[in-house]
Amino acid sequence: MPRVKKVPERMCVGCQQMRAKRELIRVVRAPDGTVTVDPTGKRSGRGAYVCPQEDCLVKAVKARRLERALRTPIAQEVMEELRRRVQS
């Protein structure tokens, strides 16, 4: 029997739509509390996801959903990296 491959989905913290995980930008809080942007999606820790779109990032920031999802404040440099990634 052919195995049906399920695409893993995650919710964007901006638009709150489910999307394929690989289409989203992952932000991860490592066990030591460091928050980083994780392009590989493989770092361990608590993750939050956002579409690579400025709209979504703006919504997520306004509603503080990234902070809430990760339960920690997001450093300015992490926000800047996210902005660079949604603009490119």
Q: Which residues are at the interface with Zn ion (CB under 5 A)? A: 12, 14-15, 51, 56
Nearer to Zn ion, 30 or 58 (CB): 58
Q: Which is nearer to Zn ion, 55 or 77 (CB)?
A: 55
Distance CA 46, CA 70 (A): 6
CB-nearer residue toward Zn ion: 29 or 49:
49
Maximum distance among all alpha carbons in the chain? 50
Cα dihedral angle (81, 61, 42, 17), rounded to 10 degrees? Answer: -130
Least spacing, CB of residue 6 vs Zn ion, in Å: 21
